[in-house]
């Protein structure tokens, strides 16, 4: 194999033959979403909200916090890839019924909706409401789902699976690009390592994946510290670390009452912590000539 860097996962022939469209041989992509948001340029968009939308009251409270912080991108998951099949009572409203809540968000707030799609059959229902489709870590190699989502020609956030290499991630992104959808945003969200899956480290944020992806791909890379560490107390540090490492966007989970969140109650920060963090990010991002949006 033609590998200029034999110790590295990605060879120069990979860039040419395996993922020619998403490789760094192309001009760096700037992905615009709506009028004010773009990934990959001098803006750092923050995507934030609860793990799942839970109910209308809760998500409306979250929308208000976003507006107060002058942010535009709402995490609004109605379909959730939960590790175990049992849903809590609080979850009765999500799924297809959540589509009506998304409609109400659209009517009442000037926000852009980021939502995860898990099944092709839901794409048609979600399409009119969703501004960015998320393909979650667990579906990173669900190639038919990636292809069909890409055909809608909306931006996609493709999360890296916790057991997959950067090479695998770029291979998956290529599936969207061959469908002529270039609006793919990559997301680092933590990986599994032999010592993870303990209470102290469910996943481990692969911070060096951020510069590595920038070196090998023309696509923007964002970071999701909340899913990586699974622990609210560490979200701020990992968010700041991601920014310093060159992340081109951030996904941060917050909740009005985090310890009572229906899903992942340990990782969400509260409204006050979130507001403080956004303020800090706005200040720090100036050093990098970037603007938080
Ligand atoms: C999520 O963002 O809600 C999610 C399930 O994340 P991940 O796919 O990274 O686990
Ligand atoms: Mn989650």
94-135 pLDDT, tens digit each: 899 999 999 999 999 999 999 999 999 999 999 999 999 999
Mutate to test the pocket of ligand 1, among 73, 91, 224 (most ligand atoms within 8 A of CB): 224
Q: Whose CA is nearest to atom 10 of ligand 1?
A: 137
DSSP one-letter code for 127: T
Model pLDDT for residues 254-293, shown as the tens digit of each residue: 999 999 999 999 999 999 999 999 999 999 999 999 999 9
Range name among 65-69, 218-222, 259-263 with the lowest pLDDT average: 259-263
Compute the average pLDDT of residues 239-248: 98
CA gap 42, 185 in Å, rounded: 15
Contacts of 47 (CB under 8 A, 6+ apart): 73, 74, 75, 114, 132, 157, 222, 249, 250, 251, 252
**227 CB near ligand 1 (under 6 Å):** yes
Q: Whose CA is nearest to atom 4 of ligand 1?
A: 136
**77 CB near ligand 1 (under 6 Å):** yes
**115 CB near ligand 1 (under 6 Å):** no
Range name among 17-21, 24-28, 78-82 with the lowest pLDDT average: 78-82
DSSP one-letter code for 219: S
CA gap 233, 94 in Å, rounded: 28
Residue 209 pLDDT = 97
Dist. CA 8 → ligand 1 center (Å): 27
Residue 87 pLDDT = 77
Dist. CA 100 → ligand 2 center (Å): 22
Position 206 pLDDT exceeds 90: yes
Residue 2 pLDDT = 55
Q: How far is CA 89 from CA 35, 75, 93, 219, in A?
A: 38, 21, 9, 39
Compute the average pLDDT of residues 194-222: 89
Position 199 pLDDT exceeds 80: no
Q: What percent of the chain has pLDDT over 90?
A: 87
**189 CB near ligand 1 (under 6 Å):** yes
Dist. CA 59 → ligand 2 center (Å): 16
**Torsional class of 190: left (φ above 0), alpha (ψ -120 to 50), beta (otherwise):** left
Compute the average pLDDT of residues 14-28: 97
Confidence of residue 7 (pLDDT cuts 50, 70, 90): low
């Amino acid at each position: 194999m033609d590998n200029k860097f034999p110790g590295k996962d990605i060879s120069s022939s990979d860039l040419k033959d395996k993922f020619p469209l998403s490789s760094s041989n192309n001009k760096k992509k700037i992905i615009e979403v709506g009028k004010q948001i773009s990934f990959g340029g001098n803006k750092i968009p923050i995507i934030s909200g609860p793990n799942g939308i839970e109910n209308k009251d809760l998500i409306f409270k979250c929308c208000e916090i976003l507006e107060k912080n002058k942010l535009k991108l709402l995490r609004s998951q109605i379909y959730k890839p939960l590790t175990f099949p049992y849903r809590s009572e609080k979850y009765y409203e999500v799924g297809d019924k959540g589509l009506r809540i998304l409609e109400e968000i659209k009517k009442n707030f000037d926000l852009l909706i980021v939502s995860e799609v898990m099944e092709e059959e839901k794409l048609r229902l979600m399409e009119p409401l969703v501004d960015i489709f998320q393909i979650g870590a667990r579906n990173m190699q669900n190639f038919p789902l990636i292809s069909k989502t890409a055909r809608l020609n909306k931006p996609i956030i493709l999360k890296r699976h916790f057991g997959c290499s950067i090479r695998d991630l770029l291979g998956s992104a290529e599936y969207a690009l061959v469908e002529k959808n270039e609006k793919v945003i990559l997301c680092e969200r933590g990986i599994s390592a032999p010592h993870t899956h303990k209470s102290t480290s469910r996943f481990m944020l692969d911070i060096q994946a951020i510069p590595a992806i920038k070196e090998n791909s023309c696509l923007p890379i964002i970071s999701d510290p909340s899913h990586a560490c699974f622990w609210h107390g560490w979200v701020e540090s990992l968010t700041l670390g991601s920014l310093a490492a060159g992340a081109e966007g951030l996904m941060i989970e917050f909740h009005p009452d985090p310890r009572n969140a229906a899903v992942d109650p340990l990782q969400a920060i509260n409204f006050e912590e979130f507001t403080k963090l956004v303020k800090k990010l706005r200040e720090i991002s100036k050093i990098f000539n970037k603007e938080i949006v």
